[in-house]
A and B are shown apart, each in its own frame.
Chain A
Amino acid sequence: MITSYFQAAILQCIERFAGQRSIYGIYHLLKGKKSSQTIQDGQLFDLSIFFAVFPDAKRSSIEKAINELRQYGYINKLDAEYHYHITSSGKDSLEQFYLENPLPADLDGWQFHSFAPVFWDRFTLLVQSLSNIVHGVKSFYPIQKNWNVQQWVKAYLRREHTERTYMAAKFYEELVMLLETRQPNERDIFVLKLTGSRRAGYTNEQIGRMIGIPAANVRFLFTGTLHYIVKTVLANEDKYPRISALIGDLTGLEEKPLTNSARVTLKYINDGRELPEIAQIRRLKISTIEDHIVEIAFSLKDFSIERYVSDDLAAVIIKVAADLRTKQLKEIKQQIDHTASYFQIRLVLAKMGDIA
């Protein structure tokens, strides 16, 4: 039986990947590797909610989970090494697990994986500070050691002159509004993790014991709550003026989701350079620059791939991919008699991911 969200996520990835990606593709996705391949996998197979939601996943922990799933008979090994297929009992079990343990609503790793931790670090330190202030405690040991977070909270408190008990009450109100619609477990976890003047927050394991679920699930549900909060307060800044102010400065920094290196390549492309030229200037392999272009095509809706793939060829690739119901490059390439390069197929698939 599946007992953890970690197993469930892996099983779901295997289901969606349908044998087209290896378990290490799953590993990179759950861990949140910022490579174009991983980012695209998330979008293409509609798994991007899981992007980076298990940041401390290890190869070994994935392998262990795979072994368990195999033993349960939920997955079968395919010919290609490290590739698996979900069985019908695997599908049933996954469904059953989600019935009893729904995925937290609004979980979206790809959208929020970078905001959520910063938000939490600031929020928990601010709550600790306010708690100590309203309880008349002058000095305390900060729960966040990160210098940037400390500076941020200090600056916030300096800037906001609101009377502190009033400010604390306002945070309370906003948080209650936010949490009230959540599952009981999620509410408990969030509040128990907070540190106040009279007690430090509880660890995932302690909370797990208190509410009777595994520590790893505590962490996962909590991640979901964070994503929900970030999403909700950003969309309703007037309703949550205080909590949204904790992340407001982050959203401006949200540039196009490109890796740095791809961004440089894009600059050259915009300057009118050709692919081999860029490779030469940057002293990178052509294949690396191709990776960048695929990433760019994928991330930027208005980026045209025309100069790399003709419209006709693109149409053929799209059709073949749809007919074969595959995103495996090798199969597609064979089907169209190698009239397109891997690079071209990837580009078109990247654009398709955009449409999907």
Chain B
Amino acid sequence: MILESMLQKHFGFSSFRAGQKEVIASLLGGQCTLAMLPTGSGKSLCYQLPAYIINKTIVIVSPLLSLMQDQAEQLKMRGEKKVITLNSFLSPQQKQAALKQLGNYRFIFLSPEMLRMRSVMSALKRLDIGLFVVDEAHCISQWGYDFRPDYLNLGGFRAALGEPLTLALTASATAEVRKDILEKLGLNGSNQIITSIDRSNIAITVEKVASYEDKLERVIQVASEMKGSGIIYFSSKKLAESVAAMLTEKGINDVGYYHGGMEQEQRMLIQQQFLGGQIRIICATSAFGMGINKEDVRFVVHFHLPMGMEAYVQEIGRAGRDGKQSIAILIYCEGDEGLPLRLAEQELPTDIQIIESCRFLSHHDHKPSQLPKSLQLDLMSKFSLNETQIRFILAFIKDGNPAEKAEEMRVYVQNRKLIKQDKFTAFYHWFQSSNCRRELLLTYFQEEKQEIIPYCCDNCGFSITRLLEEMPGEINQSSNGGLYFSWKKELEAILFSKRAVNDEK
């Protein structure tokens, strides 16, 4: 009961969501904990609430800059001032100033590479760390779908900090990955709190179409039929843009697109328009969604195939966070499997690229981590490496000897490619199967289907018309600036409250 009143006081919620209370109780009992809670179920509350009880510094390691900033931003919005994010955006002076007064913060967010800095580690060592949080903990496992080499050292850093109470958070990890997380972090014997990844309010459907044109047709149909807001996922930036344009052309006005290639400001505007209901549908690459909390997303469409079950579950999990009926639609056309396989291939360098790059690097005196931009470009064009590939190569070698690292990297890459292929193969079998999709999906995560769900999946069968009827339609659509508008009126609307404007009249 005390926890509930804390929840009310600090976060304004009256009850916990599944798993949250168990995780918090486990932590408050002094137990290191691995928590697997589905996306959008309030994972961050699991460390935010204890922070006010433990009353010591909370250190949160997060793999993605944007994610980290979003979480810090959300805390600040709630009125928490003692939040800092340590990342590469800070100038050396700012970093120094921040480190000096690190003890004044309640929440310290940092990226794993910050921990590699001696100044950061020594500042952290001086603190009384009440809780060490590893967000997106599956990134530590080579068996995970989003392995980050930077995460491998976290166990070592944790030990160097005196093995503080630790919370490893993830949204989707198979049993194998969970075991790996515990091992790598030195958490063997910890509590595991695993909630089901199942989201019973999301109907799961796979639709097969005969041609690319049919696929476009179907997207138009979905976009006009669905009443609420939705995300359409693409693997290509260009297509996200062009399909958005096509939908607009078809008279669906409230569509936008979002991908990593856009200017930061434009991305931010689109994101906020979507959150505020100015645009209803967003055509996006997987860059969209992390850290975005929109409760009333009604549908998620996959125009392209995701790389595996984990990615799929994450992406469809952005629908229906308000618990209301929602739907996930994957549109498949024969031959679609080529793209994810190709993309997976391009994420990592080939054998020849590895060997040649390492030879190139060993001829230069620069440490790979400090390779000047010009040499990077040179290297990229010589061996036609893309951004992801070169970043990988340099990060892998770090400050090591390139010549010695080549073989290790080659073996590692081969291994990663195999794992990725396996992940996709599992997904391939899943969407080709004629058995209950939910059950198969749960089996993949070593879970069992519990309840009977009225709108389960296309293989179980349900009436889509009925589902559409049951789907809450109304969204808070804010007025979209009409064709005619006056700049002065618009400015007035921004800077004056209605009352003030009326008073003046």
Instruction: Give A residues with C-beta under 8 Å from B.
Output: 56, 127, 130-131, 134-136, 139-148, 165, 168-169, 171-172, 175-176, 179, 184, 187-188, 190-192, 194-206, 209-210
Contacts and interface: CB of A to CB of B under 8 A. Distances in A.
A199 B264 contact: no
Q: Which 10 A-B pairs have the closest CB atoms?
A: A196-B494, A200-B272, A139-B77, A168-B495, A191-B487, A187-B487, A172-B495, A200-B273, A203-B266, A134-B497
Contacts of B411: none
B497 A200 contact: no
Contact of A172 (B256, B263, B268, B496): B496
Given A141-B73, A142-B73, A169-B496, A203 B269 contact: yes
B487 A134 contact: no
B275 interface: yes
B450 to A, nearest CB: 36
A143 B268 contact: yes
Contacts of B69: 145
Interface in B95-147: none
Given A176-B488, A188-B487, A169 B495 contact: yes
B17 interface: no
Interface string B268-295: 1110110110100000000000000000
Nearest to A146: B89
B92 interface: no
Q: Is the interface of A mostly helix, strand, loop or mixed?
A: helix
A194 B276 contact: no
B492 interface: yes
A254 to B, nearest CB: 18
A172 B269 contact: no
A105 B164 CA distance: 61
B210 to A, nearest CB: 32
A176 B496 CA distance: 14
A175 B487 CA distance: 11
B85 A147 contact: yes
A134 B268 contact: no
Nearest to B491: A191
Contacts of B483: 210
B25 interface: no
Contacts of A136: 497
Interface in B440-467: none
Given A142-B73, A194-B494, A210-B481, A203 B78 contact: no
A211 to B, nearest CB: 10
A196 B41 CA distance: 29
Interface residues of B, number: 38
Nearest to A215: B266
Contacts of A134: 495-497, 500
B478 interface: yes
B276 A199 contact: yes
Nearest to A124: B265
Nearest to B266: A203
A200 B266 contact: no
Interface string B331-353: 00000000000000000000000
B487 A147 contact: no
Contacts of B500: 134, 165, 169
Contacts of A127: 494-495
A114 B492 CA distance: 29
B491 A140 contact: no
B490 interface: yes
Interface of B: 69, 73, 77-79, 85, 89-90, 94, 248, 256, 263-264, 266, 268-270, 272-273, 275-276, 278, 478-479, 481, 483, 485, 487-488, 490-497, 500
A136 B488 CA distance: 21
B481 A192 contact: yes
A199 B494 CA distance: 9
B85 A195 contact: no
Contacts of B495: 127, 130-131, 134, 168-169, 171-172, 196
Contact of B272 (A169, A187, A191, A195): A195
Contacts of A187: 487
Of B73, B483, B490, the most chain A CB neighbours within 10 A belong to: B490
A198 B478 contact: yes
24 contacts: A127-B495, A134-B496, A139-B77, A139-B78, A141-B73, A141-B272, A141-B275, A145-B268, A147-B85, A147-B89, A147-B94, A165-B500, A169-B495, A169-B496, A169-B500, A191-B494, A194-B494, A196-B493, A199-B276, A200-B269, A202-B273, A203-B266, A203-B270, A210-B481
A6 to B, nearest CB: 15
A111 B359 CA distance: 45
A130 B494 CA distance: 9
A202 B269 contact: yes
A168 B496 contact: yes
Contacts of A200: 269, 272-273, 276, 278
B358 to A, nearest CB: 28
Contacts of B481: 192, 199, 202, 210
Contact of A192 (B90, B275, B488, B490): B490
A199 B90 CA distance: 30
A176 B491 contact: yes
Contacts of B491: 172, 175-176, 191, 194
A302 B178 CA distance: 69
A209 B483 CA distance: 10
B219 to A, nearest CB: 20
Contacts of B496: 134, 165, 168-169, 172
B411 to A, nearest CB: 36
Contacts of B478: 198-199
A135 B248 CA distance: 32
Contacts of A184: 487
Contacts of A130: 495
A131 B272 CA distance: 15
Contacts of A199: 273, 276, 278, 478-479, 481
Contacts of A148: 94
Contacts of B272: 141, 143, 195, 200
Contacts of A145: 69, 73, 264, 268
B263 A56 contact: yes
Contacts of A140: 77
Contacts of A144: 268
A219 to B, nearest CB: 9
Given A140-B77, A141-B73, A165-B500, 5 more contacts: A131-B494, A145-B264, A179-B487, A191-B487, A197-B494
Contacts of B275: 141
Of listed A176, A198, A206, residue having the most chain B CB within 10 A: A206
A201 to B, nearest CB: 5
A201 B279 CA distance: 12
Contacts of B263: 56
A201 B267 CA distance: 11
Q: Which of B77, B278, B494 has the most CB of A within 10 A?
A: B494
